Every structure is written in structure tokens, then in C-alpha cells.
Amino acid sequence: MASTRFAVFGHPIAHSLSPRIHQAFARQFGMQLEFGTIDATPETFGAAVGQFFADGGTGANVTVPHKHAAYALAAERDVSAARVGAANVLSRLPDGRLAAHNTDGACLVRDLRERHGQVLEGSTVLLLGAGGAAWGVAFSLLDAGVGALTIANRTATTAERLVHALGQPDRVQAIPLTRLSGAGHFDLIINATSAGLLGHSLDLPLALGGPEVFCYDVSYAKAALPFLGWARAAGAGHAVDGLSMLVETAADSFAIWHGPHPVTEPVFQQLRRHLAVQAQESSALTV
């Protein structure tokens, strides 16, 4: 089988796990593919994408900070990309134009249900943050039937904009991050702020926790540590990072480009071990 070219675009991107994930999926089907990382700044992203596809690229994953720009470059967009205004998957159409997909929300929902056994129908959900990551998952949480979605953000007007776009005022409300004390009980708390990525702590009331609360950070590894640390301190029953969501989004991209859907669990476990070894090595270096 001929080798085909894929890449992930981001900034920074050098430490992306996507090439490793896609190569592991390709092995499941005996496929050969090239999967690289392309570091593009916001200024160079459009030209870099154009060059990649002109040089025979078949598909690309797109991550921070380019998801909105990726959406804007596409001639065709799936419903999920259109309502979020952002895309994490670009694919070359037969006529050379680009198609955009957004698989983030559907993959979070699948991960919550199938890997973590969460029942979303009728549940009360607190979504922290109202930026790109929160937009990417909020619509799908409503599709999944959550009973009430509270969006808490540092900047209240940004959360209100997302609530307005979601268009379901009976199920969705915005509150400032500073008003979470006494905001009620939540079955599921999802951190979609970039605080951890920026190395900031998140100042959340411990009273939000409790053994029946499931906490999920859409980021992974070091970026998820502040929120997961809070969740443990608050006595949350379960607290997980978004490494498995990353694997699920890669699997959906793989299916868009190649047809078959890969098996994700062994790849997720392999990445978990890989990151644990990396963390051990970097702590050994700093001792």
C-alpha cells in the first residue's frame, strides 16, 4: 500500500502525541503512513496548510491556536464544526478543496460514557471556562441530554456569549467563576479553562467536591494537574485528565481519512505508560 501524508498543526507542537497515536492505529490495519508535526504561527498557518495539501497531504489534525483559522480555510464544514466555528480535522476533498470536521465534543461524550461509565442524561454539569475548548464540547453535552449545564468563567460576558450561542436558556446558565460557592451540586465538573496550560492554579471552592462527583479535565499531563489536585483535595469520587479524549479524537480523524475505526484502549494505555516514564525521567533530571 502506498504511503500517505498526514500532519498535526499547532504552536507549539513539537511534543504532540498525535504522530505516535496515528502510527499505532495504522499498525492495527497494516498501513504505512507518514504523520508529521508542523509548527506554524497564526501568521503562517494559512500558507503552511496550503503548502502541505499542495504537496500531497491527505489530512491534518489542528490544535491550539489554529482551530478557528482551520475552520475558515475549509470549503465544506460538518455540522459540529459549523456550530462551534472551529475545526480540529482538515481533509483534502477530491477537487483539492478542504473539508473541516470538529470531533472534540462527540469524543468527550463518548469518552465519558464508554470509558468512564458516566450517565449524562439528566445530569447536572459544571463547565469551567468559555474559550475555544469550552465551545468545542458544550453543544455535544447538550446533545447528550445533560439536564442542566452551568458555564462558569472568569470573564462573565464571555460565558454569556456561549450561553446565548447554545440557545437553550431553560437548560443552560452562566455564572462568574467567583460565584461558585453555593452554586449547588454538580454530578460532573469539566475543566475547559487554559489555566493549567498557563501554569496557573484554579481557585475553586472545596464544597463543590464529594465522593459522587466526577471531575474531568479536557487537557492532559502537566496541564491537568492543578484541576486534578483540586478535585482530590475536594474529595471527588473520580478525577481524570483528557488523554483518553485526545486518543478518541485521533481515532475519529483516522476513521474520517481511512474508513475503519481503530481500537483505542490499548493505544491509550500505551500512552499513559509513555507519559509516566517521561514524568519519571524529568523528575530524575531535576533532583
Residues that bind ligand ATR (CB under 6 A): 64, 129-133, 153-155, 158, 177, 193-195, 198, 200, 202
- In whole angstroms, what is the distance from residue 37 CA to residue 142 CA? 33
Nearer to ligand ATR by Cβ, of 193 and 249: the residue is 193
Place of cell 485526545: 246
- In whole angstroms, what is the distance from residue 104 CA to residue 190 CA? 14
Q: How far is the CB of 200 from ligand ATR (least distance, A)?
A: 4
Residue 54 DSSP SS3: helix
Q: How far is the CB of 101 from ligand ATR (least distance, A)?
A: 17
Reference 193, options 280, 100, 127; nearest CA is: 127
Residue 4 DSSP SS3: strand
Q: Which of 67, 83, 92, 101 is catalytic?
A: 67
Residue of minimal Cβ distance to ligand ATR: 131
Q: How far is the CB of 251 from ligand ATR (least distance, A)?
A: 21
Query: Under a CB-based contact definition with an 8 Å cutoff, are residues 100 and 79 in contact?
Result: no
Nearer to ligand ATR by Cβ, of 118 and 191: the residue is 191
Q: How far is the CB of 44 from ligand ATR (least distance, A)?
A: 19
Sheet containing 214-217, strands listed edge to edge, beginning at the edge strand earlier in sequence: 172-176, 148-153, 124-128, 188-191, 214-217, 238-240
* 222 classed as catalytic: no
- In whole angstroms, what is the distance from residue 240 CA to residue 217 CA? 6
Sheet containing 76-77, strands listed edge to edge, beginning at the edge strand earlier in sequence: 33-39, 4-10, 57-62, 89-92, 98-101, 76-77
Q: How far is the CB of 38 from ligand ATR (least distance, A)?
A: 19
Indicate the residue type of 90.
L
Indicate the residue type of 162.
L
- Residues annotated as part of the active site: 67
